[in-house]
Amino acid sequence: GAVVSQHPSWVICKSGTSVKIECRSLDFQATTMFWYRQFPKQSLMLMATSNEGSKATYEQGVEKDKFLINHASLTLSTLTVTSAHPEDSSFYICSASTGIRGYNEQFFGPGTRLTVL
Amino acid sequence: AQTVTQSQPEMSVQEAETVTLSCTYDTSESNYYLFWYKQPPSRQMILVIRQEAYKQQNATENRFSVNFQKAAKSFSLKISDSQLGDTAMYFCAFMSNTGKLIFGQGTTLQVKP
């Protein structure tokens, strides 16, 4: 149980275009989903936290107009990278949990590699 | 703000031997959770072990155990009988009651045959 999927696993796009990444909890209801960014050989940096049905909360320094996050249902959150540029190339990982307060284990998706040409 | 520090960027160990990965953290909170995650070349994050701060007993999971020193804010991971499949990047992480995870910089572990 507790499986999280991401789609696509790898995407290549041209500079200036937008890319949408989906994160799904397959066998549980995720009231909270998290989006992370990871550069090669570096740590995971939290970008934003989304709760189902409400606006995402972005971490300091993350452009909310560039990284649009939608959490429309208890099993799906999407991250849209708008007007992508080569510096947006990175590995994006989502995680899902059943709550935000207290201890709620985060279950991680397999990640999406974004390459912007 | 909480911080997590892993001071060993890279480590190596011979197969079947024991290795310890270090982690220190800083927080003013009294109740929190600490984790070690493994990220193999596939890049899928895998939970290795979890420690609740209010529990004095060190957590163990088969070949993996932790040395949790709350006063020193230290949380090291010991891997016994290292296997080739343990080769991965290991992240120490902190979670407060906000539910957010804060990760250390990571330690790349190479298990040599």
Residue B80 to residue B49: CA distance in whole angstroms:
14
Confidence of residue A2 (pLDDT cuts 50, 70, 90): confident
pLDDT for position B97: 80
pLDDT for position A101: 57
pLDDT for position A104: 80
In chain B the beta strands, taken as DSSP E runs, fall at 3-5, 10-14, 19-21, 24-26, 33-39, 46-52, 60-61, 64-69, 74-79, 88-95, 101-103, 107-112
Judged by CB atoms closer than 8 Å, whether chains meet at B105 and A100 is answered as no
**Residues of chain A positioned with their CB less than 8 A from the CB of B52:** 103
Interface check for A56 against chain B (CB to CB < 8 A): the answer is no
Rg (CA), chain A: 13
State yes or no: cis peptide before A8, omega within 30 of 0. yes
Give the rounded distance of the alpha carbon of B76 from its chain centre.
6
To which residue do tokens 């789609």 refer?
A7
pLDDT for position A1: 67
CB B84 within 8 A of CB B113: yes
Judged by CB atoms closer than 8 Å, whether chains meet at B100 and A46 is answered as yes
Q: What is the pLDDT of residues B5-37, one digit of tens each?
A: 999 999 999 999 999 999 999 999 888 999 999
Please determine, for residue A99, whether its predicted confidence score (pLDDT) is greater than 80: no
Q: Side-chain half-sphere of A109: how many Cα atoms within 13 Å? A: 31
pLDDT for position B23: 98
Indicate the average pLDDT of chain A. 92
Please determine, for residue A103, whether its predicted confidence score (pLDDT) is greater than 80: no
Residue A86 to residue B57: CA distance in whole angstroms:
47
Interface check for A98 against chain B (CB to CB < 8 A): the answer is no
Q: What is the pLDDT of residues B67-96, one digit of tens each?
A: 999 999 999 999 999 999 999 999 999 998
Q: What's the average model confidence in pLDDT over A53-78?
A: 92
Please determine, for residue B4, whether its predicted confidence score (pLDDT) is greater than 60: yes
Q: What's the average model confidence in pLDDT over A99-103?
A: 61
CB B34 within 8 A of CB B81: no
Which of B45, B95, B102 has the CB atom closest to A103's CB atom? B95
Nearest CA in chain B to A40: B43
Helix, strand, or coil (residue B62): coil
Interface check for B67 against chain A (CB to CB < 8 A): the answer is no
Distance from CA of A15 to the nearest CA of B (A): 25
Q: Which of A45, A92, A108, A114 to mutate to probe the B interface, most B CBs <10 Å?
A: A108
- For the ranges A65-79, A90-104, B79-93, the lowest mean pLDDT is seen at A90-104
Angle among Cα B21, A97, A2 to the nearest 5 degrees reads 85
Judged by CB atoms closer than 8 Å, whether chains meet at A46 and B99 is answered as no
Which of A43, A102, A111 has the CB atom closest to B105's CB atom? A43
**What are the backbone angles phi and psi of residue A88, rounded to the nearest 5°?**
-85, -10
Tokens of A53: 């049905």
The residue ranking higher by pLDDT, B56 or A17, is A17
